[in-house]
Each structure stands twice: as structure tokens, then as C-alpha cells.
Homo-oligomer: A and B are copies of this chain.
């Protein structure tokens, strides 16, 4: 039932005062339907035939969704961004897991991150990026 996600996506976008274009809705719905964080390429592949967007549009839409706090993007060691929808219980600060076998990335939402890292004198803390690497259940 992808329909549900399309409806939710449109709601989320309108609540942020943005134009509810087919592209934004489709991309956000795709990310809402996904259990893991996926790349630009993977999003492109999952979009329905009726919604083939230019790659640049896809990049710009993802940027807009990130800036408006509807999704977040994750750094990885393969130099490719991965994106995931910001569900409500999704705390802004959370860790991620990356499988070294299949490159799958998931959010570890229930992993609270310590904020008190002892930095050198004069340094100011802002945020943390934490990726646990290992093998997922399929790759073990």
C-alpha cells in the first residue's frame, strides 16, 4: 500500500509550506516506505515509471527535503550519500549501521549518543557522526 505513504508525504510537505509537486511527494513517499537508508541511485530505481525525474532534480529535491527536516542524509565510506525519512520517533542524533558485505545502511534509532566527549582545550562540540560497521543478518 504505497498509497498511504504518498498521502503522508504530501501532508508533510504542505505542513512545511512547500509546493507539493509530484517529484517531492514521490521521493518522500519512497523514503517513507523504505526500512533502510538508500542512495540517489536506489531512489531513482524505485520511482514509478510515471515519475521519471532528471537526476539533477532528484539531487535538488533531496536537498530541499533535508533542509526542511523531512529527511536526513548519511555520510559513508563509499563517498555516496544515503537518505532516510525522518519518522517522528527519529531522534536527530542517532547512530547508523553499515554492512561491510552488502553496503546496506540502517538507522540505529534506539542508540543514545553520549554528548560529553572530552575535546582539546578551546574546542567546541557541535554534533556527532557515528557509524557501526559489521555484517547484517543476511551477510553473516
Interface residues of A (CB under 8 A from B): 75-77, 79, 95, 97, 100, 106, 108, 110-111, 117-137, 140
> Which of B95, B111, B122, B128 is close to A132, meaning CB atoms less than 8 Å apart?
B128
Check if A130 sits within 8 Å of B130, measured CB to CB: yes
Check if B125 sits within 8 Å of A132, measured CB to CB: yes
CA distance A50 to B95 in the complex (A): 45
CA distance A111 to B128 in the complex (A): 14
- Please name all residues of chain B whose beta carbon is closer than 8 Å to the beta carbon of A110 when the two chains form the complex: 118
CA distance A97 to B119 in the complex (A): 8
- Please name all residues of chain B whose beta carbon is closer than 8 Å to the beta carbon of A124 when the two chains form the complex: 134-135, 140
- With A108-B117, A111-B117, A117-B108 already in contact, the answer to whether A134 and B129 are too (CB < 8 A) is no
- With A123-B137, A124-B140 already in contact, the answer to whether A129 and B79 are too (CB < 8 A) is no
- With A76-B75, A79-B79, A117-B111 already in contact, the answer to whether A140 and B128 are too (CB < 8 A) is no
- Please name all residues of chain B whose beta carbon is closer than 8 Å to the beta carbon of A118 when the two chains form the complex: 110-111
Chain B CB count within 10 A is highest, among A95, A130, A140, for A130
CA distance A125 to B120 in the complex (A): 29
Check if B108 sits within 8 Å of A136, measured CB to CB: no
